[in-house]
Every structure is written in C-alpha cells, then in structure tokens.
Amino acid sequence: MKALIVDDDEGIRWILDKVLREEGLEVLQAGAIAEAKTALASHHDIDMVFLDVYLPDGNGMDFLSAGVIQAPVVLLTAETTFGHAAEAYRLGAMEYLPKPFDLDEVRQLVQRVRPVQEKAPPKPEVREELIIGRSQAMQDMFRTLGRVATSDLTVLITGESGTGKEMVARTLHDRSQRGDKAFIAINTAAIPADLLESELFGHEKGAFTGADKTREGRFEQADGGTLFLDEIGDMPAALQAKLLRVLEEGRVQRVGGSQSKVVNVRLLAATHQHLQEKISKGEFREDLYYRLNVIPVHIPPLRERRDDIPELAVHLLDEAVEELGMNAPILLDDAIDLLSRHDWPGNVRELKNVMRRLAVLTPGASITLSDVALALGNVSNRHHQEETLGEAVTRCTRNYLHQLGYAKAVNLHQYMLEQTEPPLLVLAMERCHGNQLKVADMLGLNRNTVRKLLRKYEIDPQYFR
C-alpha cells in the first residue's frame, strides 16, 4: 500500500510518516496542493491520502471536491464542529481526524481502507451551529451525524435537558437532502394528551367540540421535509400505537376523517428519559422504540466533556455581546477554570444563560473569578485559591500547548505577553480605581507606557472610575 500525506506542518508529516511506515506503507509527502497534484499525477497507485484542510496554496476541502483524488481521503483539521465533520463526509472523505489526533486511530484507518465509490452532493447553505467540542465523545457523535445526515434514516437523539437535542435535529435537517423543505418541531410533553393527536395528524371540521375548520397536522406540514418529535418518551400510550402505524404505512388520517393521506416525512425524535426503563414498566411500546432507534445519537452532558467548556464559553460570550450590542469583556483564565469545574446540571442551556448574565452584569472590562462565582451562585473557589500564580501560569500554558497539538508555536513569547498584559492591566486599573499614575507605579512602568498599553488592548479607563 502507498499513502500520500499533504500537510504544511513538518511535525505532522513526520509523525504520520513514522506511523504509516510502521504499518508497512510506502509514504509520499507534500507540503502544498501543488505538490500533491504532482505526486498524484506521478503515482497512480496511491491507496489513501491524509489531507490537511488549510494549506499554503488553497483549501483541502476544495481540493477534495475537485475530484482529482481517486483514493480514500482522511481530512486533517483543527476544526471541531459537526458542520465541519458533515461537510467532510459530504465531499467524499472516508474519515476526518481532529488535531491533535490519536495515532491508534490512524492505524485503525489503515486497516479499513477501501475505495470511495461516489462523492456526496454539494453542501447546502446552513445556519450557524453551536455543536462544537474537541472531546472524544463529541468527535464520535460528529462522525455518526456526518454519516447519517444525508440519509432519510430515523434518528433517536438522547441526552439530558439542555444538551442541545433540537439543535442536533435542526442541523441534521439542514445537512440533509431535505434541507430546503420544512422542518417542523413539536414538544409532545408540552401539549395536553387530548389535543396531541389533532396536533400531529390534523382534524376535519366538526371532528370535536371547537373544531370549526379543517386543520392540517404536523405530519402533513412536514411533508417532503423533517418532523422532529421532542420528548417522545412522554407520548401517551394510545398515540404511540397510532404513531407506529404512521411510521409503518407512511400514511396519516386526520381526526374525524375517513381518508388517509400519504406523507413523505423524515422523523427525528428526542428524549431525556431512559426509554428501555419505560418499556420495562409498560409505559413505552417496544416496537415503537425499535422503529425510532434506527440510528441512536447520544449527546453527553457538559460535566462529561469539561474540555469543551472553555471553547463553548467563549463562543457563547461572543454571541451574547454581539446580540446585545456590547463591548466584549475579556474572559480571564481563572474564570474559565471555574466555569470548567462547574457541573452544569442545565448543560449548554445553563452555560448560555450564565454567559449572557456575565456579558450584561460584569462591571469591568474583564470577567474575573469572582464574577463567575457570583453568576454561579457564589460557588466555592477554595481549590483555585490554593493554586500559586506560577502553578496557574504553568497550567494555562500547558493547556494552550496541548490545544496547539503538533502545530508549530509561532512567536510564543509575544503571544504570552499579549495574553498576560491585558488582564494584568485590568486588575491594576480595578485596584487603583482607574488612576493611571498609581497603575504605573504598581506595575513599575511610566504613565505614557500605561496609556499606550491601554490603547493597544482597547481597555477603556472609564470602566474603572
């Protein structure tokens, strides 16, 4: 077997070359798309390609979509969103590996190489997504979603309240071939049982008291598109049987009607409950469960993917300040650390609310440990107080280098200065109530230097007076 590695990072090429040669492959390397084209033209027996997304002379995904590569492709990327994963699969990638990647996974990919038979359809325009995360659990979920998004398979999404089940459903719809059709969502737990049947299947005029006109149900409204049934575990037993019949026959009959209508609907369902426990108690039909659970997707709670919290927090803070038309405060590292240690019983929904609260209520130009503790209800930060300044700097630097993975650290000293100077200035301004002369004295700088730094980092002295 022969492999081609296309990446401008010599470190990544070196480690991949080493692992692939250990697996018995002959390896070619290219640092840019132009070099890759030359290699592909000269070697028609390449069995797999490891392709970076961001290259000096172009985008790896564009190169993949051009159809030049005939071998199975593994995309290498630092992106961590489901959208990126879905796009990779749509363009025909066999797999995608987020950086830093697991070398054992590279070995597994070598073992299952097979020709890519066809390319997927082009990616439609979709809305911004908040399904992000570097944790292994999220990456596994992205791969599952990426593979099934273009199909019409029924997906059962499970996870605690606030994890983003409807967002996953909407993104699956957007990425599907039905993306330009209707997406109809209904929370079955929020509608009284006696009205839910009419809501789902519609009703004829006079079918019951108050039915003064004929009404389409959600299945008819979603015809050609996607119907998302949230909290499916709360559906009454009688309706479960009718839903099962619709799924089996592909037809709906309105309440009070005598004729049925064919509907073409992709069904997505979600629940925070353990359906198998409800089955054992006789509260949920086993046959309906197997109809719904064709593709199971579980969204892990935040407490099980704490490494994703910093990225989510920054994203949600940026989203909040943009929506509210405010200046973005700086989220300090110790504040991020406390956010990461919180258990988040409300999951992403709770984190979103906390970040909006911090955006509005933070008095200074930075979000501090105390601000976060207050927003969380005065969570104890005793553990953090036991950490020395040197330990905190070491921890944060180690985390940054870990996120960097195999990429080269460029101007690391300057980067560290730019990360430490703003919070130091902010804290000094807070301590001195905006008196720049006192700040200069505290930091051992002259006043002009303090003014220049405040301008450089766009820190408004008015915040501290």
Residue 68 CB coordination number (10 Å)? 12
Neighbouring C-alpha atoms within 13 Å toward the C-beta of 97: 24
Same domain, 186 and 321: no
- Identity at 135, one-letter amino acid code: S
The pLDDT of residue 165 is: 92
pTM: 0.59
Report helix, strand or coil for 400. helix
Element (DSSP H or E) covering residue 96: strand 95-98
Instruction: Judge whether 141 lies within some domain.
Output: no
Task: Please give the single-letter amino acid code of residue 90.
Answer: R
From CA 366, how far away is CA 386, in angstroms rounded? 22
Q: Which amino acid is at 62?
A: D
Residue 342 has pLDDT above 80, yes or no: yes
Highest mean pLDDT: which range of 108-122, 156-170, 202-216: 156-170
The CA-based angle 196-225-294, given to 5 degrees, is 75
CA 171 to CA 45: how far, in whole Å? 37
> For residue 407, what is the domain's CATH number?
1.10.8.60
Q: What is the mean pLDDT of residues 413-420?
A: 82
The arithmetic mean of pLDDT across residues 316-334, rounded, is: 84
Nearest to 72 by CA among 40, 104, 49, 39: 49
CATH number at residue 20: 3.40.50.2300
Q: Say whether both 51 and 117 belong to one domain.
A: yes
The predicted pLDDT at position 403 comes to 54
Residues 337 and 442 in one domain: yes
**Do residues 380 and 357 both lie within one domain?**
yes
Q: What is the pLDDT of residues 349-359, one digit of tens each?
A: 899 999 988 98
Does residue 327 register a pLDDT over 50? Answer: yes
Q: Are residues 288 and 380 in the same domain?
A: no
Kindly report the average pLDDT of the chain as a whole number: 83
Last residue of a domain, one of 300, 334, 354: 300
Query: What is the token pair recorded at 22?
Result: 């250990």
Q: Which two tokens stand for residue 406?
A: 């195999």
Of 336, 353, 415, 363, nearest in space to 162 by CA: 353
Are 232 and 273 contained in the same domain?
yes
Residue 242 falls inside a structural domain: yes
Amino acid at 312: L
Q: Which amino acid is at 240?
A: Q
The answer to whether residue 80 is domain-embedded is: yes
Query: Residue 262 is part of a domain; what is its CATH number?
Result: 3.40.50.300
Least confident of 11-20, 26-35, 56-65, 430-439: 11-20
How confident is the model at residue 125, as a pLDDT? Answer: 39
CB of 129 closer than 8 Å to CB of 83: yes
How far apart (Å, rounded) are the C-alpha atoms in residues 298 and 157?
Answer: 6
Say if residue 347 is in the same domain as residue 294: no
Establish how many alpha carbons lie within 13 A of residue 32's alpha carbon, considering only the half-sphere containing its beta carbon: 5
62 and 7 housed in the same domain: yes
Between 196 and 137, residue with greater pLDDT = 196
What pLDDT, on the 0 to 100 scale, is given for residue 182? 92
169 and 109 housed in the same domain: no
pLDDT at 51: 93
Angle at alpha carbon of residue 129, lines to 126 and 135, rounded to 5°:
135
Query: Over 70: is that where the pLDDT of 124 sits?
Result: no
The pLDDT assigned to 82 comes to 67
Q: Cα 116–117–119 angle (5° rounding)?
A: 85
- Count of domains in the chain? 3
Domain holding 125, by residue range, is 2-135
Residue 10 has pLDDT above 90, yes or no: no
Confidence grade of residue 263 (pLDDT, cut at 50, 70, 90): very high
Instruction: Label residue 122 by pLDDT band (50, 70, 90).
Output: very low
Question: Looking at residues 120-133, what average pLDDT do you find?
Answer: 48
- pLDDT value at residue 127: 41
User: Which of 74, 104, 135 finishes a domain?
Assistant: 135
pLDDT band with cut points at 50, 70 and 90 for residue 398: low
Distances (CA, A) of 3 to 35, 72, 453: 14, 10, 50
Q: Does any domain span residue 140?
A: no
| pLDDT above 90 (res 272) | yes
- The single-letter DSSP state of residue 124 is P
Contact between 57 and 33 (Cβ < 8 Å): yes
> Could you tell me if residue 143 is inside a domain?
no
**Quick one: average pLDDT of 354-372?**
85
* Euclidean distance between CA atoms 242 and 168, whole angstroms: 26
Gap between the Cα atoms of 26 and 9, Å rounded? 19
pLDDT band at 279 (very low <50, low <70, confident <90, very high): very high
- Determine the Cα–Cα distance for residues 83 and 167; give it in Å rounded to an integer: 12
Question: Which two tokens mark 96?
Answer: 């995608």
Domain presence at residue 312: yes
Please report where in the chains the tokens 């994203």 appear, as a residue: 315
Q: Are residues 287 and 337 in the same domain?
A: no
What token pair was written down for 196? 């839910």
Residues 109 and 184 in one domain: no
What average pLDDT does this structure show over 386-391?
66
Query: Is pLDDT of 223 > 90?
Result: yes
Confidence label for 115 from pLDDT (cuts 50, 70 and 90): very low
**CA distances to 91, 92, 124, 155, 433 from 121, in Å:** 7, 9, 9, 21, 59
Mean pLDDT of 246-266: 91
pLDDT of residue 347: 93
Q: Which helix (H) or strand (E) holds 395?
A: helix 389-404
Of 305-319, 368-382, 404-418, which one has max mean pLDDT? 305-319
Is the model's pLDDT at 326 over the cut of 80? no
> What SS3 state is found at 263?
coil
Q: Which of 300, 317, 347 is the last residue of a domain?
A: 300
Asked if pLDDT for residue 329 goes beyond 50, the answer is: yes
Q: Which of 79-83, 115-119, 271-275, 408-412 has the lowest mean pLDDT?
A: 115-119
Q: Is the Cβ–Cβ distance between 246 and 207 less than 8 Å?
A: no
Instruction: Evaluate whether residue 167 is within a structural domain.
Output: yes
Tokens of 178: 């039905």
Q: Are residues 42 and 86 in the same domain?
A: yes
- CA 379, CA 272: separation in Å to the nearest integer? 27
Residue 145, in any domain of the structure: no
Which of 359, 367, 361 is CA-nearest to residue 323? 359
**Of residues 287, 273, 284, 171, the one with CA closest to residue 230:** 273
